[in-house]
Amino acid sequence: MRHKAICQLLFIALALPITFLAIASSAKAQVTQTTTAKLSPVDKEAVKRFEGRVKDYMKLRNAVKAKLPKLSKDATPQQIESYRENLEAAVRNTRTGAKRGDIFNHDGSDYIRRTLKVNFTGKDRVELRNIVFEGETATVKVRVNYPYPEQTELVEMPPTVLLNLPQLPPEVKYRFVGRNLLLIDEDINLILDYMTNALP
Amino acid sequence: MKRFIISAVTSAALLFSSSLSPSAYAQTSNANGSKAGNAARAHSAVKLTLPLKKDSLKFAVMGDTGTGSDKQQQVADKMVQYHGTYPFEFVLMLGDNMYGGESAKDFEVKFAEPYKQLLDKQVKFYAALGNHDQRLQKNYVNFNMNGKEYYRFKKGNVAFYALNSTYMDKTQLKWLEDELAKDTSDWKVAFMHHPPYSSGGKHGSDAQLREVVEPIFVKYGVNVVLTGHDHFYERTKPQKGIYYFVSGAAGKLRSGDLKDGSPLTAKGYDRDLSFMLIEVDDKQMHFQTISRTGETVDSGVIMHQKAKP
């Protein structure tokens, strides 16, 4: 009995500093690293392939862009308008055969659907759904290789969800329209692909 | 546990004395004010509660502007009027800089024309993107975003962080954290569109955004966060040592949208459009919020103190 008590005390004496050190070292770590989920090896491969398809799009779009006049960081409204129109037309022309599922194909969309399901399910996620559904996007016609109307607001992507989705290049963004998840090239407002009923 | 450790370090860093009424505040300022300040207060056209010190940093704040409406113009005119007495160097734009389309004509009607007089006076504008803004606004010469969706700039002892709150992804959060970690400025001011704290009935606090940015703000000593999205003015009670303002009514108003009796609100105003003037004088950040018609609806000073080691 006495031996057991001594053992317990020893355990506490050893465990406490270790626990404290663990907490202290995690407090030093970057704040943003704490909220991201770990991927299984299978998901990791699927995400890699999804990111590869996005990269393929970027290669194509940047090749088109290279042939057009550059947009300055100090552009006039006329230059911005002209750049956007020209790039949009050129990219659309090179993607005339694009169709739903080219980027969000079965391989990548499985992981994304599961991630969204986890993030959007449960009572505490009501607010999260509200963010998505308060967006006034009902008039948006969701079609691949067609523009997202510039008059329509872009629904804020909940950051806690974004942290768990595959990372995209800065020009391409995830956006919700109702329950659909879109991939949009936001320099030219072009819908690259979409996933229907992405939200549970 | 981690959050507790972080907040305990920084929450005692600031003192606040905003409970003074504008008149009481003016008396306090007069006791220590400059000659320029006294002269300015004698100006009959505007009522200034700011100290108007010679070498202070002076700027204005406006959110949700881009309607091209008469009311937006009236707020812009009021800003010009105040600029005559209080020559602010630049304006922070809190997003929704352009509603309902972004043709070259829209840039004219919703920005260049309303603020022409300020632009002519060499006042610079620094924009953050809102949910109604297109990404290529980052390339517009008059928004001074230098081709970036989110960026930092420094004026005197104040560092400003313009954030894109409609898309707060890993890359942006890492950038924010890296920049703040090496920032030795006395004051750190973040500005973005969506409010982590707000008493708005239509939108209100963005808890999702708050979950990811607040720990960073607290950890690295951000002092003030300026936001829009809700179309009114609100100064919230300090949250974990940080002062949050909603100033989203320089072009649109959602009258009556402030929740009555909200425990967040230190001061709110949702009866008319408004904008803010801010003056940073060493360890004091003074603010004055002015309505479209020139009424001072809030004013005060945030005192900066170094965080305890």
In chain A, residues 65-104 whose CB comes closer than 8 Å to chain B: 71-81, 83-84
A37 CB-contact burial (10 Å; exposed 0-12 / middle 13-18 / buried 19+) = exposed
Mean pLDDT, range B265-282, rounded to an integer:
98
| Predicted local distance difference test score (pLDDT) of residue B295 | 97
| Predicted local distance difference test score (pLDDT) of residue A15 | 46
Question: How far away is chain A from the Cα of B299, in angstroms, using its nearest Cα?
Answer: 31
For tokens 């009607």, the residue is B109
HSE-CB at B281 with a 13 A cutoff on CA atoms is 16
Q: Do B135 and A27 touch (CB under 8 A)?
A: no
| Predicted local distance difference test score (pLDDT) of residue A4 | 52
Whether the CB of A26 is below 8 Å from some CB of chain B: the reply is: yes
Q: Cα separations (Å) of B191 from A128, B97, B169, B197?
A: 22, 14, 16, 13
- pLDDT tens across the length of chain A (200 residues): 455 555 454 444 444 444 433 433 343 445 554 345 678 888 899 999 999 999 999 999 999 999 999 999 999 999 999 999 999 999 999 999 999 999 998 887 889 999 998 888 876 678 788 888 888 888 899 999 999 999 999 999 999 899 999 999 999 999 999 999 999 999 999 999 999 999 88
| Predicted local distance difference test score (pLDDT) of residue A8 | 57
Angle between helices A106-120 and A41-66 (to 10 degrees): 110
Instruction: Encode pLDDT of B74-133 as tens digits.
Output: 999 999 999 999 999 999 999 999 999 999 999 999 999 999 999 999 999 999 999 999
Radius of gyration, alpha carbons of chain B:
18
- Answer for the pair A165, A46: CB distance below 8 angstroms, yes or no: no
A38 CB-contact burial (10 Å; exposed 0-12 / middle 13-18 / buried 19+) = exposed
Question: How far away is chain A from the Cα of B28, in angstroms, using its nearest Cα?
Answer: 41
| Predicted local distance difference test score (pLDDT) of residue A124 | 64
| Predicted local distance difference test score (pLDDT) of residue A19 | 42
- Answer for the pair B275, B72: CB distance below 8 angstroms, yes or no: no
Q: β-pairing, B187-191 with B158-162?
A: parallel
For tokens 């963010």, the residue is A131
| Predicted local distance difference test score (pLDDT) of residue A31 | 56
- Where helices occur in chain A by DSSP H, the ranges are 2-28, 41-66, 77-94, 106-120, 126-133, 159-162
Q: Cα separations (Å) of B279 from A151, B5, B91, B285?
A: 36, 32, 12, 6
Instruction: Encode pLDDT of A97-154 as tens digits.
Output: 999 999 998 887 889 999 998 888 876 678 788 888 888 888 899 999 999 999 999 9
For A154, name the nearest residue in chain B, comparing CA atoms only: B131
Q: Alpha-carbon distance A1 to A4, whole Å?
A: 5
Nearest to A77 among B108, B174, B209 (CB): B108
| Predicted local distance difference test score (pLDDT) of residue B287 | 98
Phi-psi category of residue A163: left, alpha or beta, with phi > 0 → left and psi -120 to 50 → alpha: alpha
Q: What ipTM was predicted for this assembly? A: 0.85
| Predicted local distance difference test score (pLDDT) of residue A139 | 87
SS3 of chain B: the string is: CHHHHHHHHHCCCEEECCCCCHHHHHHHHHHHCCHHHHHHHHCCCCCCCCCCCCCCEEEEEECCCCCCCHHHHHHHHHHHHHHHHCCCCEEEECCCCCCCCCCHHHHHHHHHCCCHHHHHCCCEEEECCCCCCCHHHHHEHHHCCCCCCCEEEEECCEEEEECCCCECCHHHHHHHHHHHHCCCCCEEEEECCCCCCCCECCCCCCHHHHHHHHHHHHHCCCCEEEECCCCCEEEECCECCEEEEEECCCCCCCCCCECCCCCCEEEEECCCCEEEEEEEECCEEEEEEEECCCCEEEEEEEEECCCCC
Q: Alpha-carbon distance B131 to B309, whole Å?
A: 39
Instruction: Encode pLDDT of B2-52 as tens digits.
Output: 322 222 223 223 333 333 333 333 333 333 334 344 444 444 578 999 999
Mean pLDDT of chain B: 88
B contacts of A116 (beta carbons < 8 Å): none
| Predicted local distance difference test score (pLDDT) of residue B26 | 31
| Predicted local distance difference test score (pLDDT) of residue B246 | 98
Angle between helices B35-42 and B22-32 (to 10 degrees): 140
In chain A, residues 139-178 whose CB comes closer than 8 Å to chain B: 150-151, 153-163, 167-168, 170-171, 173
Angle A188-A191-A197 from CA coordinates, rounded to 5°: 150
